Structure 1
């Protein structure tokens, strides 16, 4: 069995946290990096895009390479 080293662990379980296994972004990212030039096709009653803005706002804080992120709805 291969052991992961230098990864943060859940002290209670003694296992690496899942985010520690995902490749990190090479450069610091901003909210702009998670915006698209594509038209948003949500209905106007869907919280005025609050969910989209929240996701775009917290994704840079995770520090994950955006090429390794996918959302399915």
Structure 2
């Protein structure tokens, strides 16, 4: 029932604290992402990227804001 409860209690986050994700939490997130199903089983076409460089994130934010 833990999984069902997790799905029922999920919610969107609109504000963030700015705190960095801990290494252990990041490891858990990547483990879960790698275990997630992929359409048509095309796992070899999946690539996960973690970006923690604040300058890169700020530049990406600015670039996407101008597109939208």
Which of the five TM-score ranges fits, normalised by the shorter chain?
A: under 0.3
Q: TM-score, normalised by structure 2?
A: 0.27
Flag the structure with higher strand content: 1
Bigger relative contact order (CA 8 A; separation at least 6) = 1
Q: When the two structures are superposed, what TM-score results if normalisation uses the length of structure 1?
A: 0.26
Q: Higher helix proportion, which one?
A: 2
